[in-house]
Amino acid sequence: VLENTNIMDILHYNFYNNFLAVKAVQCIEENDVITLLLTKEDITNHEIPYSDLIKRLADKDKKMCDAGNTCSIVFDSASGLKKIIITGLGDAEKLTPNDLRKAAGETTRTIMKARGEKTLVFSPVAVSNNDHMYLRALLEGLILGSYEFNECKSEVANKFDGLVQVYSKDIKVNDIIAEANILCESIIWARNLVNRPGNIVQPQNMADEALLMSEKLGLECEILGTDAMREKAMGALLAVGKGSDAEPKLITLKYQGSVNSDWIALVGKGITFDSGGISIKPEAGMGEMKDDMAGAAAVLGAIRAIAEMKLPCNVIAIAACAENMPSGTATRPGDIIKAANGKTIEVVSTDAEGRMVLADAVWYACRQGASKVIDIATLTGAVIIALGNETAAIVSNNDNLCEEIISAGKTAGENYWRLPSLPECKEAIKSDIADLLNSAGRPGGVITGGLFIGEFVDENIPWAHIDIGGTSTAQKTNGYLVKGATGIGVATLVQLVKGK
Ligand code: BES
Ligand code: ZN
Ligand code: MN
């Protein structure tokens, strides 16, 4: 059994072993594995290593460079080369950076299986394209696709520890690699946090992680427990946490990278386990609710990357952490509680707890002087029915902010879709005996959930809610996503504050 006290050791021991270290090189000598990611047009490209051989093979196998195709050639040569791995990318003009990111994610696992001591990755599209988006996507795919969550295994068999190098002539390559490494480390940091079960990650552990990060990166860090929340009358957050023996924590990190810019607040749902509370969930799949802090992991992962990249912006990350448990001290369905902004909430379902913790957290973000608020949460199962497992939903009061998130997501490789929020939808969350209902039932569940949170954001503040209920974990390994936590949100939020 893993004790909570072991968590730091687990983290430090395993973190840097989980993924590939990527470096740049400008020569192709002395590798035992060479990996080529080739478009169909590359078949006649003479700058590729072993271009004559490639051409001859492609003449025999017409599908060699089709998208999704992989083949390996085994060598027994005096030069030490043991294997060439070829990944097809299809037509060059159709290839987007995100296609390359996915292909690189697949290829990385082939690389790890080949077990070369020194592996060279060569992708002409990333060597020659000068907007860097392809190089960036290649690096991110290689690193993210190599992720494994193995820190709870007592022994990890066959860990890959070879050197992987990417061929590049770009003079900026080292900067691009440094940035890709920071971003991917932060995504993997978030994935680890989400993949850890509820007995290992409790609100206190989230707070410990945040504190450790703030010390390393020089961030301002504040952690509020029950007493401080009572002082601030955060009745909604307290109501969710009070069924559990674990104390809820409201974590605030601040990064100031610019003297006179506005502050943007990133607010994450951090339910370390969601049993449903007294409105208890059915047995099937309840264990998946250990991922119900993926929003909090995303905002903490994002501020980690933003601070490490030293981006010229001001960011507040707030993680609203609690465990949602049934007990003699738990909130009951029917209870009426008062949130920090003074609004009263009739608790229809104790399983609609995410919007309750976020109610007080977005209010707190406004008190911290945020001029823009984005909240991110595994808020509903309804978002899976609406949009599936590839797209996150947005509910917002601001067209520009939505556009910014959607466009940042396109660059980052994450999909978003805005849902309408008509004034009529707000009627559904009105209570007869209190100000608001915490659930309006199944119709438009993503929208009413989002609008509920919007009721606690100060008027006139641009706000967007992102529902990652369907995208926080992947059902199977595919491309740069590995079965389990995806780390969704980190890349988009970093890209958003970067702004280009
Ligand atoms: N954390 C869940 C949402 C969830 C469920 C995400 C399954 C991913 C998969 C959330 O707290 C919840 O229980 N939501 C309820 C809301 C309802 C009671 C209004 C839901 O979606 O059923
Ligand atoms: Zn939940
Ligand atoms: Mn719930």
Nearest CA to ligand 1 atom 13: 351
Instruction: Count CB neighbours of 43 within 10 A.
Output: 16
Q: Which stretches of 278-367 are DSSP H helices?
A: 294-308, 354-367
Which residues, 6+ apart, have CB-to-CB distance to 155 below 8 Å? none
Ligand 1: which of 351, 448, 472, 473 to mutate, most ligand atoms within 8 Å of CB? 351
CA separation (Å) from 180 to 21, 25, 141? Answer: 11, 16, 10
Q: What is the DSSP string of 209-261?
A: HHHHHHHHHT-EEEEE-HHHHHHTT-HHHHHHHTTSSSPPEEEEEEEE--SSP
Condensed to tens digits (0 to 9), the pLDDT of residues 153-210 reads 888 877 788 888 888 877 788 888 889 989 999 999 999 999 999 999 999 999 999 9
User: What is the residue type of 113?
Assistant: K
310: three-class secondary structure by DSSP: coil
What atom in ligand 1 is closest to the CA of residue 349? 18
From 37, 45, 46, 82, select the one nearest 64 (Cα to Cα): 37
Ligand number, closest to the Cα atom of 288? 1
CB burial readout 462-471, b (16+ within 10 A) else e: bbbbbbbbbb
Paired with 393 in beta bridges are 417, 467
Centroid of ligand 2 to alpha carbon of 67 (angstroms): 38
Centroid of ligand 1 to alpha carbon of 204 (angstroms): 23
Catalytic residues: 281, 355
Q: Are strands 263-274 and 314-324 parallel, antiparallel or unpaired?
A: parallel
- Report the pocket of ligand 1 as residue ranges, CB < 6 Å: 274, 289, 292, 349, 351-354, 378, 380-382, 439, 445, 469
Nearest CA to ligand 1 atom 7: 381
484: three-class secondary structure by DSSP: strand
Nearest CA to ligand 1 atom 18: 352
| Structure tokens, 400 | 């520009």
Do you know the residue count of the chain? Answer: 500
User: What is the residue type of 484?
Assistant: G
Report residue 23: phi and psi, to 5°. Answer: -130, 170
Q: Which residue has the tokens 């003079």?
A: 171
Q: Is there a contact between 85 and 33 (Cβ–Cβ < 8 Å)?
A: yes
| Structure tokens, 333 | 């369905």
| Structure tokens, 304 | 């980690």
Paired with 265 in beta bridges are 316, 373
Residue 251 burial (10 A CB sphere; 0-12, 13-18, 19+) = buried
Which residues, 6+ apart, have CB-to-CB distance to 46 below 8 Å? none
How far, in Å, CA of 270 to CA of 383, rounded?
18
Q: What does pTM read for this prediction?
A: 0.95
Amino acid 277: pLDDT: 98
Report residue 377: phi and psi, to 5°. Answer: -160, 145
Amino acid 160: pLDDT: 84
From 362, 320, 377, select the one nearest 459 (Cα to Cα): 362
From 405, 396, 401, select the one nearest 454 (Cα to Cα): 396
Query: Which residues, given as ranges, of the chain have pLDDT below 50?
Result: 1-19
From 100, 151, 118, 137, select the one nearest 20 (Cα to Cα): 118
CB burial readout 399-411, b (16+ within 10 A) else e: eebbebbbebbbb
How far, in Å, CA of 108 to CA of 106, rounded?
6
Ligand number, closest to the Cα atom of 438? 1
Centroid of ligand 2 to alpha carbon of 471 (angstroms): 14
Which residues, 6+ apart, have CB-to-CB distance to 328 below 8 Å? none
Amino acid 175: pLDDT: 87
| Structure tokens, 439 | 């659930």
Nearest CA to ligand 1 atom 22: 381
Q: Is there a contact between 456 and 145 (Cβ–Cβ < 8 Å)?
A: no
Centroid of ligand 2 to alpha carbon of 377 (angstroms): 8
Centroid of ligand 2 to alpha carbon of 126 (angstroms): 41
Nearest CA to ligand 1 atom 16: 352
